[in-house]
Structure 1
Amino acid sequence: MTGSVLESLRSECPIPPRLSPYADRVQEWLTADLLPTLGLPLDAAGARRLAGAGFARYASRLYPDATEPDLRLLTALFTWFFLVDDACDGPGRLDLGQIRALRDGAVRLLVDGPRHRHPGLAGPLRRLLVRSWREPRRRMSARWRQRFADAVAHHLTGTWREAANKTAARAPGVAEYVELRRATSAAYVSFPLVEFVTGRPLPDAVYHHPLLREIADTGNDLLAWYNDLASLERDRATSGGHNLVLAVAGERGVSTDVAVELVADRWRASMRRFVELRATVPSFGPALDEAVTDLLDGIANAVRGTIDWTMESARYPLTP
């Protein structure tokens, strides 16, 4: 059932799909050149799983206009976040103290640079983040770097909160889950990277403008809820209720099949809201409008890119 709902929502999505022409070449670079140099403890099956996930194609859908060198960097960053997700939420996951230390170590590296070491971030994860962060740190302003670091801290704090809930066997209600999911999705990390790709960072007052913030929140919800539908079967066994379908089923007292339809309807309403909000964005002046459009297009690409990548990635085997 979930697979048919996902296909239906994809067909209804008004955002056109996009894909970088470098997608497959960068995916080959990831699997053949980057991953073998990191010293990850991967067996053959683990290497195939990472290759099948298609992280380069995901980055290529979100940043279709990036240069090939920048797309490699973005792919490396995406790989870092997915490896962290696996470490915090997979078999043998990190404990709460280790997740907190990982967050602190990552944020310190992003803010202070690679010369500063923290015991919470070491080994392949540290090497990959150092390598991925070198060029953004060189090219972008201190204000933008802090914005990105704040987004990473928010994401990893959400990861810690979810792990704490699971440790306590506590399933969140719908409102709490929606807010938490906005952190764990890492969408707020992907949005500032639009400014890196275009080279046109926005002033904080514009980036955090209430209307643009609402558009970002809505886009985050759209991609996160679609992902929740795709990962329902896995999450049913492992997430401790951390999936919008499961939260709706628990709060409404309905079956998961009914909850799937309710979440799909909620997704459709949010997509209508997303389109309406984009149509109301005012001019911020000739010096900023192009950068604002870039950001809005980037949020839209993140929504559509997540949909298309989810349907093709081996990371989310779908049920009919």
Structure 2
Amino acid sequence: MEARPRVIYLPDTMNDWPWPRAMNPHYEAVKAEVDASFRDFKALSAKSQEAFDKCDSGSTYNAFESACELINVFIIVDEYTDVENAAVTEAMVGIVIDALHHPHKIRPEGECILGEIVRQFWARTIQTASMSSQRHFLDSYTAYLRAVVVEALDRDEAHCRSIDDYIKLRRDTVAAKPAIAIHEMGMDLPDEVFYHPAIAALAECIAELMLIDNDMISYNREQARDENHNLITIVMLELGLDRSGAMAWAARYHTEVEKRFMDGLAKVPSWGPSIDVLVKEYLDGIATWARGNHSWSYETQRYLGTRGPEIQRTRLVTLLPKVNCKAASAAAKVNVADLSIMDNTAHCEQPSGSSGPA
């Protein structure tokens, strides 16, 4: 007689979040245009492109075309770096940072395609983005990229961080801050407002809500591949909890962060009527982004395959069996000397029901 499959209960973390799910009316048109232009890069193998398409990467809250493009950029950078060691990841990150700072410079022939993808995204975005928002994005996206290198080093060394150290790093690797920076591209928030401790603390809360939700929802896929960069895994190891206990711990922590955000809203100072209107729009936007991230995680096929909506209703996830990841170098050869990449097809063998990219 076959043993019953093990099942994970996925708590509903956003049930009481005041900002509802909303779909931008321009979503379908913008998504189609952005996805078509991205496909022209031929940055992925046919199999990888198919998996990438299932990520449904259009933004759910913003009319900016750059928001949709940025999600594609996040996913493709993750797709390339997730399978690489720290040295190769650092080389790729260097290319991306250079492209951001030189958006009108022709990229070297044979360079990793990430450089051209990011260059084109940023060259288009800066045509309409305010100067302050450009500075804020570059700061936060660079912090994200540097954190991705640290994550790769942890992966090389099979290093498992403490809960506190992990959350500190994950606030950056979840890419929440550059994502929400896109929301201010149509406004001019002064640095003294954007970096004010009260505003920065609220942005930290959104980053934590997003990392908790992302790690809970992606845990099944990641445990199948023995990946350690996940809050549930970290909590299980440090606190000696089983999966259910770690999920419950994460849900409680999510509730604490929600309260911290709501309390923080009441402590936001005034900078005068004209700035206060922008601050309210910005804070509403980042709060909506937390909801959008949660909804996208269930509606995309990146983490839960085609069963996302069903799992969101039932809260039950069947535990995936362990799978063997192919060595990145066997499928995607990256020459760090000339920083070139031919074709990235390095993926884990996808178990049934797991259709997202690595």
TM-score, with length taken from structure 1: 0.87
1:118/1:247 CA distance change after superposition, 3 Å: farther
Corresponding letter in the other structure for 2:221? R
Corresponding letter in the other structure for 2:93? R
The share of aligned pairs that are identical, in percent, is 24
Structure 2 unmatched runs, 5+: 1-6, 309-316, 319-358
Corresponding letter in the other structure for 2:78? D
For residue 35 of structure 1, what is the aligned residue in structure 2? 38
The correspondence for 2:89, drawn from 93, 99, 105, is 99
8 A contact 1:155–1:186 mirrored in 2: yes
TM alignment of 1:1-320, pairs within 5 A: 2=8, 4-5=10-11, 8-31=12-35, 33-43=36-46, 45-56=47-58, 59-61=59-61, 63=62, 66=63, 70-71=64-65, 73-89=66-82, 93-115=83-105, 117=107, 122-196=111-185, 199-238=186-225, 240-317=227-304, 319=317
Q: How far apart are 1:168 and its partner, in Å?
A: 0.5
8 A contact 2:10–2:216 mirrored in 1: no
Q: Separation in 1 of the partners of 2:121 and 2:26?
A: 18
8 A contact 1:230–1:310 mirrored in 2: yes
Q: How far apart are 1:3 and its partner, in Å?
A: 5.5
Larger radius of gyration: 2
TM-score, with length taken from structure 2: 0.78
Corresponding letter in the other structure for 2:216? L
Q: How far apart are 1:195 and its partner, in Å?
A: 1.5
8 A contact 1:166–1:239 mirrored in 2: no
Q: Separation in 2 of the partners of 1:272 and 1:239?
A: 33
8 A contact 1:228–1:243 mirrored in 2: yes
How much is the aligned-residue C-alpha RMSD, in angstroms? 2.1
8 A contact 1:222–1:267 mirrored in 2: yes
Q: Separation in 1 of the partners of 2:182 and 2:151?
A: 25
Q: How far apart are 1:111 and its partner, in Å?
A: 2.0
Q: Which runs of 4+ in 1 moved over 6 A?
A: none
8 A contact 1:171–1:240 mirrored in 2: no
